[in-house]
Amino acid sequence: TGRTRTQRDVDRDLQLSVYSLGAIEAWDIKPEKASYYFLIENKRLSISHRDEQLEEAREKTLELAEGILAENFEPKPDYQNCRYCDYQILCGVGEMI
């Protein structure tokens, strides 16, 4: 989005949690931390996931996957995200932008 991410953003980020879960599943290793590197800003933001955070991420990911498989995937229009989405024509949000 062009906006500088904060530590709070990283702490709430599902993507880093999913990567950590993937490492656990694939290699049976819990990562010490997961990080985003912002090259232009020469900045790194990291999170050390607690077991509870990873379990919440697992549940959220399964919930999202079940919704997608059931074709119950409601769009949540957001100008910043939707304007770059390859699927905006399919969901109809593209007409609003």
C-alpha distances out from residue 81 to 29, 44, 46, 75, 94, Å: 33, 23, 23, 11, 11
What are the pLDDT digits (tens) for 22-45?
999 999 999 999 999 999 999 999
Q: Is 89 exposed, middle or buried (0-12, 13-18, 19+ CB in 10 A)?
A: exposed
Which residue range is the domain that position 45 belongs to? 7-72
C-alpha span between 30 and 25 (Å, rounded): 9
**Domain contains 32:** yes
C-alpha span between 81 and 20 (Å, rounded): 24
Split into its structural domains, the chain has a count of 1
69 has pLDDT over 60: yes
Q: What mean pLDDT do residues 14-27 have?
A: 97
**Domain contains 79:** no
**Domain contains 95:** no
- Per DSSP, 5 falls in state P
pLDDT of residue 95: 63
**Domain contains 41:** yes
